[in-house]
Structure 1
Amino acid sequence: WMHISEFDYFVENSTKIPTFGRGTPTETDKAIAGYVLDLIEDGDTIQMGIGGIPEAVVSGLEGKKDLGVLTEMFPIGLPQLVAQGIVTNKHKPFHQGVTVATFCMGDEEMYRYVEQNPACEFYPSSYTNSPVFIAQHPNMVAMNMALMVDLSGQINSEGLGHTQISGSGGQLDFMIGSFWSQGGKGITLLYSSRKMKDGSLSSAIVPELPIGSPITVPRTYAQYVVTEYGVANLRYKSRTERAKELIAVAHPDLRGELYASLKKNFFPFASMASIK
């Protein structure tokens, strides 16, 4: 909250604030969310980005208790979570009882909820996204979507090759913060594959990222990668162990070529049977 005396000027604007409706999760979104929900415990502090999978996670939080929220983007389904007692912010070490975010984009219900609501506070990203500040929240669970992950755990959420699709946002900040949080979890949400124009499937888990693709999160901070086929836990794993974890959650029809790459690049003299 800022006192009126802290402002130099006010500029009136009658333009209606843009609204964004809640999406409808697909069956794949729900499958991924199901695995994610198993990683969230009562009393955790959560952060999530935008997309169908986070929406499915929000819809599936029923039954969880006393969650806290520290995030960059205000979750669109938060008013309902507060009303149901799922989000209370009571266990956070800072801003207890208050949801902390940088900005919000949502529907009319969200805008009415945050307006003059002392249980919602907005701060610059230099504060909310500080990895040091994030790490001071025990059991910090960060959830963000990705486009592609390579077998070493490098995460790309911004573009394919030299084609830029989106920005990095606060994903790296929250992945680092959750990594150093006591009991924290950094969760990467990933569709296992995408359908190409010719109808073929292309894996989102790849031997290496295409040339020119940005690395949003270095493999050092890769933790959990969740697809519709399960959870890969990469934390403290060797390069070979990471590759095996990721192949296990890749699309079943595309695992063969990933195993072939693993054999060629990791075990050039080993038999295929020895690495499965």
Structure 2
Amino acid sequence: MRSAAIQLEGIGISFGGLRAVSDVSIDIAVGERRVLLGPNGAGKTTLFNMIGGQLTPTHGKVRLFGEDVTALPPHRRAHKGLARTFQITSLFQDASVEENVHLAVRALSSTRYGMMRGAAAPGPVWERVRALLDDWRFTSDRRTRVCDLSYGDQRKLELAMAVAGEPRVLLLDEPTSGLSAMETESVVTLIKELPSDVTVIVVEHDMDVAFEVADRFTILQNGQMVLTGTAEEVRNNAEIRRIYFGEGE
């Protein structure tokens, strides 16, 4: 049995009198591809933000490879191997593709406190930058300003930057949101090509994408977990079919 990369132990959060997420417990194994599903307002993004450290649970614990990280901010979790993307791209639009990737690599390197010293010097940082540009098919666009890329390429660049530090856990928030069918196919391919030992947790509304990238699913509704299971279990669940496909209505 694979060890757990992420363990959520009865976590929940309230905003004033509103209970946004209530008592969710999940174990996500090392190397697993887990998709969080649920209708709008189900609590997916709130749960995601508690995993990433953008929100601190009102109760419960978040464990990363067995360590309690419930109170750690995002940058501390990043140095323990957790990375994420956001639904809205967070790139430096006026900088080049190469400059964006360089900043992402340098931020998690041992030389991050000397960001402005020897920025163009050869070494492990630039070797990693060149490898990422090549792996993610950006070599010919490395001098292109981000604002001149297509939206699909910007999403792809954000993924490349998220894996720059070779994370052990990767959180992807709506990675195909706003993409064309061709762009979606490209991003799905890149997700499927991620190293098998990287744990990937995805918030996704597109059911076709979800079934293509996921090993297991967690379904949320009204801030509560209603099902965790395989693709077959999700497809065969009458309540899930009603919520997502309108069957039985």
Same fold (TM over 0.5): no
Larger % of helix: which? Answer: 2
Relative contact order higher in (CA < 8 Å, ≥ 6 apart): 2
Q: Which has the larger radius of gyration?
A: 1
TM-score (ref. length: structure 1): 0.33
Larger % of strand: which? Answer: 2
TM-score (ref. length: structure 2): 0.35
